């Protein structure tokens, strides 16, 4: 498995058990804080992985490497479509989106310019994750 970390000044590649692709903008402190929170959340039972992306950076920590692309596209689609639906129905500023599939559920949140998608098993408690992210 490949771990790749890129910043304005440094780039490194190491082998780990998971696929983690990071592109960190040093100036985005909210991004760094969220990344730390998500790393903690990732350890919770039932959490399958997460995607954190801002306008300039992204972190992906997902199992099943063959499905990473599909999950990234789904995450992006949920964020975009739900923004549109939110505007259309005057829901106000979007706080969270939960999409439950037959096997997996995805929690999507927008914190400023940062977009988060947490993939988890259906029996995982997403409300606690929302609180943890908003701290």
86 counts as binding another protein under rule CB under 8 A: yes
User: What is the per-residue DSSP string for 11-70?
Assistant: EEEEE-SSEEEEE--TT-HHHHHHHHHHHHHHTSTTEEEEEEE-SS-EEEEES-GGGHHH
CB of 75 to another protein, least distance (A): 9
**Is 5 or 132 the residue whose CB approaches another protein more closely?**
132
Select from 15-23, 28-36, 49-57, 104-112 the region that touches another protein (CB under 8 A). 104-112
Q: Which of 71, 114, 118, 133 binds another protein (CB under 8 A)?
A: 71
């Amino acid at each position: 498995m490949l771990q790749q970390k890129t910043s304005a000044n440094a780039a490194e590649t190491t082998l780990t058990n998971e696929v983690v692709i990071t592109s960190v903008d040093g100036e985005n402190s909210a991004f760094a804080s969220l990344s730390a929170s998500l790393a903690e959340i990732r350890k919770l039972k039932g959490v399958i992985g997460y995607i954190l992306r801002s306008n300039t950076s992204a972190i992906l920590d997902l199992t099943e490497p063959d499905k990473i692309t599909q999950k990234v596209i789904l995450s992006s689609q949920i964020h975009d479509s739900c923004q549109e639906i939110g505007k259309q129905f005057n829901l106000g500023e979007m706080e969270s989106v939960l999409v439950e599939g037959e096997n997996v559920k995805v929690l999507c949140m927008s914190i400023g310019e940062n977009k988060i998608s947490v993939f988890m098993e259906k029996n995982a408690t997403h409300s606690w994750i929302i609180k943890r992210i908003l701290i």
